[in-house]
Homo-oligomer: A and B are copies of this chain.
């Protein structure tokens, strides 16, 4: 069980909506950026994996506290929650860099599938990628919401 990987993600003024808070949809942009940065840094084949195609199969996100624009980036903790033959799941906590353990803005999880766009089908994780991802496996995401 490893520590989550911390990525600092800058906000943009335009992430705010008419309520003056970072819009709920824009949180997923922040996760996208954390993911793109994280995967590039984790994987020697990261850039290639991204160029060859990774498809998002699902997202789940829970919002915990409102976030307003500020010049300082937020911190996204990123880890792997599951690895399977053709993909993997990522867990995230969006938090304030200055106060680890507090000020959690959101928790989320994304399902990712490697996809061969030319062949029109999923493709298998290479053993090296599987090994690297395995080294980042952590706890399940602590969602509060339970399926009814």
Please report A residues at the B interface, Cβ cutoff 8 Å: 10, 12-14, 16-20, 23-25, 28-29, 32-33, 36-37, 40, 53, 55-63, 66, 69, 71, 82, 111, 117, 140, 145, 147-148
- Cβ-closest chain B residue relative to A144: B58
Q: Are B18 and A17 in contact (CB under 8 A)?
A: yes
Query: Which B residues touch A10, using CB under 8 A?
Result: 10
Between A and B, 18 residue pairs with Cβ closer than 8 Å are A12-B33, A13-B17, A13-B36, A14-B32, A14-B33, A16-B18, A17-B17, A18-B20, A24-B28, A24-B56, A24-B59, A25-B25, A28-B28, A37-B71, A40-B71, A55-B66, A60-B60, A111-B145
Query: Which B residues touch A13, using CB under 8 A?
Result: 17-18, 32-33, 36
Q: Are B17 and A82 in contact (CB under 8 A)?
A: no
Which 6 pairs, one residue from A and one from B, show the smallest C-beta to C-beta distance? Answer: A24-B56, A16-B18, A25-B28, A60-B60, A58-B62, A13-B36
User: Given B16, B29, B69, which contacts A25 in the complex, CB threshold below 8 Å?
Assistant: B29
- Cβ-closest chain B residue relative to A68: B18
A145 with B58: in contact, given A12-B32, A29-B12, A33-B13 (CB under 8 Å)? yes
